[in-house]
A and B are shown apart, each in its own frame.
Chain A
Amino acid sequence: AQSVSQHNHHVILSEAASLELGCNYSYGGTVNLFWYVQYPGQHLQLLLKYFSGDPLVKGIKGFEAEFIKSKFSFNLRKPSVQWSDTAEYFCAVNAPWAGGYQKVTFGTGTKLQVIP
């Protein structure tokens, strides 16, 4: 069964610090990878996604993620965080499942707190 691991549960950074959130998945075949973000009081929304091609993908608000197939990783990065980046971040993997269906599995989430 596919699984997604997010190693950092709670990260606290000062504004302007660099961010890297880890995400590893377990599935040997072709996957689609996503990062979603949940700002306080708001809906979960897509930050960025990887389907194929350039393994370095750019998303909204200056975020980027790098897909490293050999490491089964899809880490999220931002060079300089802002207070408004305070949110919970979820990594997700879409992969083939039983019966020809596609299944999305989410990680447990990382709460990011940015201190002004």
Chain B
Amino acid sequence: DGGITQSPKYLFRKEGQNVTLSCEQNLNHDAMYWYRQDPGQGLRLIYYSQIVNDFQKGDIAEGYSVSREKKESFPLTVTSAQKNPTAFYLCASRDSAYEQYFGPGTRLTVT
């Protein structure tokens, strides 16, 4: 079954801690994306990667970091510098026709 997996579904952290969200795909797509979804704000792009070992900042990259060491994996680290980290995070990959395939999301709560 091809698709995007994100884990965990729910994540709780204390303020000041870094946390890494997992995203794996077996669709053989080159491009992968991280979005943040907040009520009334749609999906906002955090980072994206067109290919292995390459990634670009999106619209709201401050306080986040990523790596793309393997085609299948695009983990997102939410650092303590992110002022408002509690949110729903979505990972996606994109095919050659520019269609995006989304994972189930991770809901991060920082207290």
Are both chains from one complex? yes
Interface residues of A (CB under 8 A from B): 4, 6, 9, 32, 34, 36, 43-46, 49, 51, 90, 92, 94, 99, 101-109
Complex: how many Å from CA A108 to CA B45? Answer: 12
Complex: how many Å from CA A105 to CA B42? Answer: 10
- Interface secondary structure of A, over-half rule: strand
B99 CB–A CB distance under 8 Å: yes
How many residues of chain B have a CB within 8 Å of chain A?
23
Which of B10-18, B67-75, B100-108 contacts its partner?
B100-108
Q: A32-B98, A43-B102, A104-B100 are in contact. Are A90 and B45 (CB under 8 A)?
A: no
Complex: how many Å from CA A105 to CA B94? Answer: 14
Q: Closest CB-CB distance, B51 to chain A, in whole Å?
A: 11
Q: Closest CB-CB distance, B1 to chain A, in whole Å?
A: 13
Q: A101-B50, A101-B56, A104-B33 are in contact. Are A46 and B42 (CB under 8 A)?
A: no
Q: Is the CB of B43 within 8 A of A94?
A: no
Chain A residue at minimum C-beta to C-beta distance from B90: A44
Q: Which residues of B contact A109 (CB under 8 A)?
A: 40, 42-43
Contact of B102 among A9, A45, A99, A105 (CB under 8 A): A45
5 shortest interchain CB distances as A-B pairs: A108-B42, A106-B43, A44-B102, A106-B42, A43-B102
Complex: how many Å from CA A33 to CA B11? Answer: 33
Complex: how many Å from CA A43 to CA B103? Answer: 6
Given contacts A44-B102, A104-B33, 18 further A-B contacts (CB under 8 A): A6-B42, A34-B99, A36-B102, A43-B4, A43-B104, A44-B90, A44-B92, A46-B100, A49-B99, A51-B97, A94-B98, A102-B98, A104-B98, A106-B35, A106-B43, A108-B40, A108-B42, A109-B43
Chain A residue at minimum C-beta to C-beta distance from B100: A104
Most central of B41, B43, B104 by chain A CB within 10 Å: B43
